[in-house]
């Protein structure tokens, strides 16, 4: 079956207009040898000579004269189609660059991400909330799902979910016999806790709650990876205060218990984005009422 492509037709039309291979090659920003080879290949596909070449110059053959108006019409139609579609292509939004906080278990955010993915897939970046907020402010991310309280500066903020805190403790500890614990119950038990530099606003919020309840335990440095943290808890090295979503991480030797002050220590998951530049893929979450 004989086949044509638009590139071959473009080269043919250029030579047909100039009737000079050198001039056509200059207009096409290419050298003459590959242009000559392309025309010969086209002639072989069609099984007909398109140009007469002699010392006097270049001329169209009958086959070339027949092909020229058809080739020009095909190229014009393609050009018109590209022009008509270009406004639509120009409005297509790039993939959403979305940050996701590491302060909650990833499964909690999956329903929110699925709402976004119905409209457009997202490129995800996981990090502590302050780092995500900085990335959004610098234009490195289009938006982020962050944990509040946090300093959000001039960014637009839409709260989405609320997460009370719970206690993760060694399953064999005596406190694991209770269904609900209070902060005062944890006074004699070392507690893994994050450094203030990771989330200053949330750290300060929690400290105020601790002080209000007279809670001043021995704090252990919290590993940044929650699987490592829970392994340490299972080994009996201490307890941890975590967002309720971490119940989903089942690990032998770890017991999760409700915390009476969990609502006071609660964090919120919120969507943040530049107030003057909202990516269109954010619409399913941006206008959502507080959960």
pLDDT score recorded for residue 281: 81
Higher pLDDT, 91 or 52: 52
Q: How far apart are CA 61 and CA 136, in angstroms?
A: 63
Higher pLDDT, 138 or 22: 138
Q: How far apart are CA 276 and CA 119, in angstroms?
A: 21
Provide the strand spans (E) within 61-155: 96-101, 122-127, 143-148
- Percent share of the chain, pLDDT over 90: 46
Q: What is the pLDDT of residues 145-175, one digit of tens each?
A: 999 999 999 999 999 999 999 999 999 999 9
- The full set of domains in the chain, from first to last, is 6-91 (1.10.10.10), 96-162+268-286 (3.40.190.10), 165-265 (3.40.190.10)
- Mean residue pLDDT of the chain comes to 86
Does 205 score more than 70 pLDDT?
yes
Cis bond before residue 149 (omega within 30° of 0): yes
CA distances from 74 to 5, 77, 270 (A): 10, 5, 53
Cα Dmax for the chain = 105
pLDDT score recorded for residue 88: 47
Does 122 score more than 60 pLDDT?
yes
Q: How far apart are CA 88 and CA 104, in angstroms?
A: 39
Highest mean pLDDT among 51-55, 227-231, 287-291: 227-231
Torsion of CA 195, 104, 112, 121, to 10 degrees: 70
Report the relative pairing of strands 219-221 and 254-259 from DSSP bridges.
Answer: unpaired
Q: How far apart are CA 236 and CA 43, in angstroms?
A: 81
pLDDT score recorded for residue 287: 63
Helix (H) or strand (E) holding 3: none
Does 83 score more than 80 pLDDT?
no
Q: How far apart are CA 229 and CA 241, in angstroms?
A: 11
Q: How far apart are CA 55 and CA 190, in angstroms?
A: 97
Q: What is the pLDDT of residues 241-257, one digit of tens each?
A: 999 999 888 889 999 99
Do the beta carbons of residue 219 and residue 193 sit within 8 Å?
yes
């Amino acid at each position: 079956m004989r086949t044509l492509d638009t590139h071959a037709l473009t080269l043919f039309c250029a030579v047909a207009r100039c009737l000079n291979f050198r001039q056509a090659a200059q207009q096409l920003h290419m050298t003459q040898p590959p242009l000559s080879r392309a025309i010969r290949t086209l002639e072989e596909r069609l099984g007909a000579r398109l140009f007469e070449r002699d010392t006097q110059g270049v001329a169209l053959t009958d086959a070339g004269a027949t092909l020229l108006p058809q080739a020009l019409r095909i190229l014009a139609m393609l050009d018109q189609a590209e022009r008509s579609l270009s406004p639509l292509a120009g409005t297509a939004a790039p993939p959403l660059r979305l940050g996701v906080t590491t302060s909650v278990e990833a499964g909690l955010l999956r329903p929110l991400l699925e709402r976004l993915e119905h409209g457009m897939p997202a490129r995800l970046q996981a990090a502590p909330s302050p780092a995500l907020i900085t990335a959004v402010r610098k234009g490195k991310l289009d938006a982020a799902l962050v944990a509040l309280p946090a300093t959000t500066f001039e960014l637009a903020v839409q709260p989405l979910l609320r997460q009370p805190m719970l206690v993760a403790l060694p399953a064999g500890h005596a406190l694991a016999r209770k269904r609900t614990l209070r902060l005062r119950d944890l006074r004699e038990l070392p507690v893994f806790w994050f450094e203030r530099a990771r989330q200053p606003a949330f750290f300060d919020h929690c400290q105020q709650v601790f002080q209000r309840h007279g809670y001043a335990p021995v704090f252990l440095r919290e590993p940044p990876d929650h699987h490592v943290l829970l392994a340490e808890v299972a080994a009996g090295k201490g307890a941890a205060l975590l967002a309720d979503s971490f119940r989903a991480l089942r690990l032998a030797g770890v017991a999760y218990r409700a915390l009476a002050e969990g609502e006071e220590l609660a964090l919120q998951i919120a969507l943040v984005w530049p107030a003057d530049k909202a990516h269109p893929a954010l619409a399913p979450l941006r206008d959502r009422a507080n959960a």
